[in-house]
């Protein structure tokens, strides 16, 4: 996924297209495209034959945003120090840090006559390691340039609000993105690759699109409009000229447009921008859990529940709201305050919209049985702190390398007869240190894997298994008993809560032999 640094165009708006009129089905057996069921008709009243008049009204409110940056990079040590060639490469330490100028280019749009400008947070952020943003400039369509100051920015939603000192400016308003439908025409104006005043058009390809970036705001309007680098921060307009999205990202394997672009819905952007205009800060709800992902086919088969309903909990912060409410690793949260958790309405998204201090009622499946928990959410930590919670190293699967404990596996029983093809042993503090997990972690560590098992494709020696289908396991006997219970219930596979390196945890579906 790539950011599109500029005001992005939105979608293909062609007034010559025929309008489809859908007739009711004659019966349940009638094909959707039965002859006569769909009839072409003239465009609806008000549909433009050209976008020229619309663009003439909207274009003055779209602006160019550029930054000037200073990038300081340390020089590498001189590999030829102490040789006759040492002086040719900057001296003993490779020379002083190198300072150079940098810049970024993006787009935005005016939302008030007195100079409030909306854009993406990444448009005004440092563009490289060691970079500092020195100034931000906003250039209007009439080429007048103003120095901008930042009123507010939010990395999580990728939104920012700027202010320039001017009055009597043209501006546009946010519209209702909730009424947008797949197939609706949209229009965008921006400056891709620094080309000023570029208008693009297309249709809405999808709504509530989850791009896999994670976080509370991974829900976008997808469009086939041409969106490229330099388009970030620009508006996506509907046919009435309302801003229904803020163009933000593109999916591309080459860096150029391939017809898959994404805009932040106005329903998400508008309340954040209004909060900034009032001088407020953004605060979101937080449970304190590590997510194990949505319920796919394998997870559903292992747990005996419907797929695409709910999300697995992989871990719970010991002192967080979830732990205080009684939530456990292996639980499946299916609803938050009565709203279903789905791939389109994720647990992160729903919880983030609960104000800190308020109670979130969680509908939970635990070992297949429904229960209800109440958690008082707290304020969501900053993005960098959240990132630190999911970063971890890797291990080589070895045991007993620290020399403090005799924790190497003794006689390894063949794994071929095991129900999963796994031989495990209790996790001791010494083994925990050797495989890179926290010493307080509880579970069993894999000592051997049957090469012919499904587990061999997914697990390795040194992986730590904490639970089987949310049942904690601490010995080989407990693991076997949990797997046998799932097998007796007719489950073709089980979900193992696996930890490879602190604090990374994941649910791994493994077929029962």
Which residue in the list 122, 248, 407, 453 is annotated as catalytic? 122
Check if 232 is active-site: yes
Measured CA to CA, the distance from residue 32 to residue 39 in angstroms comes to 12
Which residue in the list 158, 238, 407, 463 is annotated as catalytic? 158
Query: Following CA atoms 224, 227, 232, 235 in sequence, which dihedral angle do they give, to the nearest 10 degrees?
Result: -60
Measured CA to CA, the distance from residue 279 to residue 179 in angstroms comes to 29
H runs (alpha helix) in 292-449: 297-303, 321-325, 347-352, 383-390, 429-435
Check if 122 is active-site: yes
Which residue in the list 107, 177, 232, 470 is annotated as catalytic? 232
Q: Identify whether the C-beta of residue 219 lies closer than 8 Å to the C-beta of residue 208.
A: yes
Q: Identify whether the C-beta of residue 157 lies closer than 8 Å to the C-beta of residue 177.
A: no
Q: Where are the beta strands (DSSP E) in 210-322?
A: 220-223, 235-237, 243-250, 261-265, 285-286, 289-294, 311-316
Check if 158 is active-site: yes
Strands 493-501 and 98-110 come out as unpaired
**CA 282 to the chain's CA centroid:** 18
Residues 6+ apart with CB under 8 A from 490: 304
Rg (CA), the chain: 28
Q: Count CA atoms within 13 Å of residue 373 on its CB side.
A: 22
Residues 6+ apart with CB under 8 A from 51: 13, 15, 187, 199, 201
Q: How many residues does the chain have?
A: 513
Positions marked active-site: 122, 158, 232
């Amino acid at each position: 996924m790539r950011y599109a640094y500029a005001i992005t165009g939105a979608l293909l708006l062609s007034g010559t297209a025929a309008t489809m009129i859908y007739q009711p089905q004659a019966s349940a057996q009638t094909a959707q495209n039965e002859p006569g069921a769909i009839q072409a008709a003239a465009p609806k009243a008000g549909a433009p034959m050209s976008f020229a008049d619309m663009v003439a009204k909207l274009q003055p409110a779209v602006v160019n945003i550029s930054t000037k940056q200073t990038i300081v990079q340390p020089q590498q040590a001189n590999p030829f120090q102490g040789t006759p060639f040492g002086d040719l490469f900057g001296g003993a330490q490779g020379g002083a840090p190198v300072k150079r100028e940098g810049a970024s280019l993006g787009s935005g749009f005016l939302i008030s006559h007195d100079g409030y400008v909306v854009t993406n947070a990444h448009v005004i952020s440092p563009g490289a390691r060691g970079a500092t943003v020195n100034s931000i400039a906003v250039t209007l369509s009439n080429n007048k340039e103003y120095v901008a100051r930042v009123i507010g920015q939010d990395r999580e939603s990728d939104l920012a609000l700027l202010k320039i000192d001017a009055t009597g400016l043209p501006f546009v308003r946010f519209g209702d993105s909730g009424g947008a439908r797949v197939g609706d025409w949209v229009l965008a104006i921006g400056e891709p690759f620094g080309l000023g005043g570029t208008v693009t058009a297309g249709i809405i390809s999808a709504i509530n699109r989850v791009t896999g970036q994670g976080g509370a705001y991974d829900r976008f309007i997808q469009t086939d409009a041409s969106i490229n680098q330099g388009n970030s921060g620009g508006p996506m307009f509907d046919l009435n000229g309302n801003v229904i999205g803020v163009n933000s990202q593109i999916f591309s394997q080459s860096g150029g447009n391939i017809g898959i672009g994404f805009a932040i819905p106005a329903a998400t952007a508008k309340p954040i921008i209004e909060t900034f205009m009032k001088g407020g800060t953004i605060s979101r709800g937080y449970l304190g859990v590590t997510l194990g992902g949505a319920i796919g086919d394998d997870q559903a088969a292992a747990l005996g529940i419907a797929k695409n309903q709910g999300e697995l909990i992989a871990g719970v912060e010991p002192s967080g709201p979830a732990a205080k409410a009684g939530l456990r690793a292996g639980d499946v949260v299916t609803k938050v305050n009565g709203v279903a958790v789905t791939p389109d309405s994720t647990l992160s998204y729903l919880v983030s919209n609960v104000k800190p201090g308020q109670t979130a009622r969680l509908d939970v499946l635990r070992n297949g049985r429904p229960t209800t928990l109440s958690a008082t959410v707290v304020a969501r930590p900053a993005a960098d702190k959240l990132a630190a919670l999911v970063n971890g190293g890797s291990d080589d699967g070895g045991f007993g390398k620290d020399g403090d404990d005799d924790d190497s596996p003794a006689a390894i029983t063949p794994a071929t007869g095991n129900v999963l093809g796994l031989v495990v042993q209790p996790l001791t503090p010494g083994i925990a240190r050797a495989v890179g997990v926290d010493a307080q972690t509880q579970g069993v560590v894999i000592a051997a894997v049957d090469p012919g098992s499904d587990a061999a494709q997914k697990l390795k020696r040194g992986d730590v298994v904490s639970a089987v289908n949310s049942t904690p396991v601490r010995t080989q006997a407990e693991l076997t008993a949990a797997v046998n219970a799932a097998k007796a219930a007719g489950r073709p596979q089980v979900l193992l809560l696996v930890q490879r390196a602190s604090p990374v945890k994941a649910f791994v579906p493994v077929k029962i032999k």
